[in-house]
Amino acid sequence: MHIELLRNIFDDDCTLGALSLDGKFECFTLEDVDRHLEDPKKGVKVYGNTAIPRGVYEVIINKSMRFKRDMPLLLQVPYFEGVRIHSGNTSANTDGCILLGDTRANDRIGESRIAFDRFFLKLRAAIDGNEEVIIEVR
C-alpha cells in the first residue's frame, strides 16, 4: 500500500493536507507546523510542535502504550520517536503525529474518528495481506 500525504495549507498553528491510498483520496490531515527540517536555515524542531520531515517512511501497526491499543506507527522518522497516525481535531491533539479527518475548516479537521477507523481497517487489511506499507510525505 502506498500512502501519500500532500501538505497544502501552511499557517502559524498547523499544517493541513490530504491523504491518498494507492492514488485515491482518503481523507484530510492535520499536523503541527511544518518547520522545514530538511532546510535548517528555515526552521528548527520544536518538541511537540513540529510536523515530521518530508520523506518516505515504512508504516507498521503495533501496540501504543499511550492509546492502549494497536495503532499505525511510522518508522525511522529523523528527529522524532513514536510518530503515529490517529484521530484528533486540532494541533493541540498532536505532538508531531498525523491526524485524520473527513472535514476541514481553518485550523481544524472534523469527523476524525470516522476517518481514522475507515483508514485503519484498510491499513490492517494491507498489513495482514503481507503488503509493504509506506507513507510518502510531500
Q: Looking at the 3D structure of the chain, how many domains does it have?
A: 1
Write out pLDDT tens, residues 87-130: 999 999 999 999 999 999 989 999 999 999 999 999 999 999 99
102-126: b (≥16 Cβ within 10 Å) or e? bebeebbbebbeebbeebbeebeeb
Determine the Cα–Cα distance for residues 130 and 91; give it in Å rounded to an integer.
33
Determine the Cα–Cα distance for residues 14 and 92; give it in Å rounded to an integer.
9
**Residues 6 or more apart in contact with residue 93 via CB below 8 angstroms:** 87, 99
Determine the Cα–Cα distance for residues 3 and 117; give it in Å rounded to an integer.
16
Write out pLDDT tens, residues 25-75: 999 999 999 987 556 555 667 888 899 999 999 999 999 998 899 999 999
Q: Are 102 and 114 in contact (CB under 8 A)?
A: yes
Grid cell 491510498 is found at 21
Three-state DSSP class for 109? strand
Domain containing residue 108? 2-137
